């Protein structure tokens, strides 16, 4: 059973449509602002549960020097990612695969990312161990999830910073996070079991958790 239990997932075509909306676009940009600056030159980056691949698209615009892989369990998501028009920059390699049995050797990535996907995995701890297995020494896995504890004050700060109307942000976040957001306790338990002492949990951009697993150099 996943962390949240059963909950509805939008079909890929609908997710793809939502992912192009003004709020989603800003969310991807925020995640990329968190992710891009710390990547070593030429970094090998894997996005697990990439969906239609927008996060990697925005990352490719920021960091032309990196090598990108996007993996998803659902071949329809991977097909959407492949067919999408790509901005100038590195073109990701798209792969169908399971977070719980990743089709890569040990210690091959500098950074592994999973945005809004871990809460769906049937065995989050097992998936996190897989992410960690793929990390080179000194590498990091970053797991982004919507923060269940987010209140009106955080949503107001986000809407102000992004120049979006507060009611739009409030209603969109609350409906998107219903059944899809995680509490600190959920993530702490999963990271603690998979992280062998090398993990941390931070809030980023008011609305999101960033769970980190690190592999020692």
Ligand X SMILES: C[S@@+](CC[C@H](N)C(=O)[O-])C[C@H]1O[C@@H](n2cnc3c(N)ncnc32)[C@H](O)[C@@H]1O
Smallest distance, ligand X to C-beta of residue 92, A: 12
Least distance (Å) between residue 157 CB and ligand X: 21
- Tokens coding 172: 């969109």
Minimum separation from the CB atom of position 111 to ligand X (A): 14
Residue 101 exposed, middle or buried by CB count within 10 Å (0-12, 13-18, 19+)? exposed
Q: Of the two residues 5 and 197, which places its CB atom closer to ligand X in the complex?
A: 5
Q: Would you say 68 or 77 has its CB closer to ligand X?
A: 77
Shortest separation between residue 116's beta carbon and ligand X, angstroms: 4
Nearer to ligand X, 13 or 42 (CB): 13
The dihedrals phi and psi of 212, each to the nearest 5 degrees, come to -120, 135
Provide the minimum distance between the beta carbon of 197 and ligand X in the complex, in angstroms, as a whole number.
Answer: 25
Burial (Cβ within 10 Å: 0-12, 13-18, ≥19) of residue 38:
exposed
The nearer residue to ligand X, 138 or 179, going by C-beta atoms, is 179
In the complex, the smallest distance separating the C-beta of residue 52 from ligand X, rounded to whole angstroms, is: 7
Nearer to ligand X, 99 or 154 (CB): 99
DSSP code, position 190: H
Which residues are 114's β-sheet partners?
A: 143
CA distance 99 to 97: 7
Q: Any idea what DSSP says for residue 37? A: G
Closer residue to ligand X in complex, CB, 126/137: 126
Please report, to the nearest 10 degrees, the dihedral formed by the alpha carbons of residues 86, 92, 98, 100 taken in order.
-130
| Binding residues vs ligand X (CB under 6 A) | 19, 48-51, 54-55, 72-74, 77, 98-100, 115-117, 120-121
Asked if residues 141 and 110 have their Cβ atoms less than 8 Å apart, the reply is no
- β-partners of residue 68 are 45
């Amino acid at each position: 059973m996943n962390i949240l239990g059963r909950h509805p997932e939008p079909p890929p075509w609908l997710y793809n449509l939502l992912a192009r909306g003004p709020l989603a676009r800003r969310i991807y940009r925020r995640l990329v602002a968190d992710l891009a600056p710390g990547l070593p030159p030429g970094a090998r980056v894997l996005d697990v549960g990439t969906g239609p691949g927008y996060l990697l698209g925005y990352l490719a615009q920021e960091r032309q020097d990196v090598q990108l892989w996007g993996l998803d369990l659902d071949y329809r998501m991977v097909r959407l990612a492949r067919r999408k028009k790509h901005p100038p920059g590195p073109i990701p390699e798209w792969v169908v695969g399971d977070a719980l049995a990743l089709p890569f050797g040990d210690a091959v990535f500098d950074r592994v990312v999973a945005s809004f996907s871990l809460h769906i995995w049937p065995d989050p701890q097992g998936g996190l161990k897989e992410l960690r297995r793929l990390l080179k020494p000194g590498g990091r896995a970053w797991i982004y999830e919507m923060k269940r504890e987010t209140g009106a004050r955080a949503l107001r700060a986000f809407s102000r910073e992004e120049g979006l109307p507060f009611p739009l942000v409030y209603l969109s976040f609350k409906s998107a996070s219903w059944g899809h957001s995680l509490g600190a306790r959920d993530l702490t338990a999963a990271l603690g079991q998979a992280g062998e002492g090398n993990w941390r949990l931070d809030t980023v951009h008011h609305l999101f958790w960033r769970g980190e697993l690190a592999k020692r150099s």
